[in-house]
Amino acid sequence: MANETQKSKLQIWIQGTRPFSFTASMIPCVVGAMLALLFSTGPALWYLLPFIMLSSLLLHAATNLIGDYYDFIKGVDTKDSFGGSRVITDGLLEPKQVFKGGIILFAAAFLLGLPIIFARGEIILYLGIAGILGGFFYSGWPIGYKYYALGNIFVFALMGPFMVVGTYYALTGTYNPSVLYTSLPIGCLVAGILQANNLRDIKHDRDAKIKTLAGVMGSAYAKAEYLTLIIGAYIIVVGLVVFNVLSPWALLVFLSLPPAIKNMTAIRGVQVDNSAKIAMLDVQTAQLHLMFGLLLSISILISKFV
């Protein structure tokens, strides 16, 4: 009986971290690692890759827990809303438990990053601190930039260029502008996940007096931004091939176009007062991000050896 209770508690905490979203932080690490394999002219410290990925995952999980806490106390997450993990709104965990859990995971992420800091020096230390601050203040007091329509910009930067370039630097100890360029479509799609969430929640966020870019822009412009982010990811890859940053193998990402088209079609005609029709759009966009990122990574791996 004790084991069943313990397992149940573990499942609740896993639910609280929103594991469906973890691909958003794992894919940038994988892409960064593949680019290290492709572009690095010196030896890479591959033993650091597990530390990079685990610390990134814990950082993401911590951000989700802190986000759940602040969304609840600000009235963003309620029993009637679609967002969040629902561990607080359904009474599975107390708000203070979730907050403390987030802080513990931030600390664990930092500890797992220590081998990378020792290997690469103070630049990684600064990047790690920036990542922790960016994750906490996404929703945390006193900044909570997601509540001031800045979430899309920071998510694009932190979970696109920041993580891809950071992974590359941690492995190789060098910087390559081609890595930055290649990170842009990943940033577009991860911002698309957030835009899908905010598009679905426009009415609820307005009622909670929370500013998101989708809410500020209005439904029509919010839909246009979602389309721009998704289409932009594919256009950027074409540009990277045309300008010889990546090989033509990168066009394998177009195999992910059918679900992309399905997602873009889903938002047609959806009104802000009937967002249940796109209740799963953020999850579906996360799945697109995963598929696109894996195809891009595979294409980079192929171009290395073909």
Using pLDDT thresholds of 50, 70 and 90, give the confidence band for residue 269: confident
Residue for token pair 């997602």: 263
Query: What is the pLDDT averaged over residues 114-126?
Result: 97
Distances (CA, A) of 183 to 63, 160, 258, 264, 289: 21, 6, 22, 22, 12
Residue 4 belongs to some domain of the structure = no
Residue 263 belongs to a domain: yes
Structural domain harbouring 69: 12-305
Q: What radius of gyration do the chain's Cα atoms show?
A: 19
Q: Are 199 and 208 in contact (CB under 8 A)?
A: no
Q: Is 96 a domain residue?
A: yes
The pLDDT score that the predictor gives to residue 3 is: 44
User: How far apart are alpha carbons 263 and 196 in whole angstroms?
Assistant: 9
Side-chain-facing half-sphere of 155: CA atoms under 13 Å: 28
User: What is the mean pLDDT of the segment spanning 130-154?
Assistant: 94
Q: What is the CATH number of the domain that holds 127?
A: 1.10.600
Q: Tell me the per-residue pLDDT of 48-79, one tens digit each, with 9 for 90 and over.
A: 999 999 999 999 999 999 999 999 998 887 77
Average pLDDT score over residue span 113-139: 97
Structural domain contains residue 207:
yes
Residue 250 falls within a domain, yes or no? yes
Higher pLDDT, 99 or 209: 99
**In-domain check, residue 7:** no
How many percent of the chain have pLDDT more than 90?
A: 76
237-254 exposure pattern, b = at least 16 Cβ within 10 A, e = fewer: beebbeeebbbebbbbbe
Residue 82 binned pLDDT confidence (cut-offs 50, 70, 90): low
Give me the pLDDT at residue 2, please. Answer: 45
Cis ω for the linkage preceding 28 (within 30 of 0)? no
Domain count of the fold of the chain:
1
Range with the poorest average pLDDT among 21-30, 180-189, 278-287, 293-302: 278-287
pTM across the whole model? 0.92
Q: Identify the weakest region by mean pLDDT among 114-123, 143-152, 199-208.
A: 199-208
Q: Are 171 and 32 in contact (CB under 8 A)?
A: yes
Within a domain: 274: yes
Phi, psi angle pair for 30, to nearest 5°: -65, -45
5 lies in a domain?
no
4 pLDDT higher than 50: no
**Cα of 15 vs its chain's centroid, Å:** 17
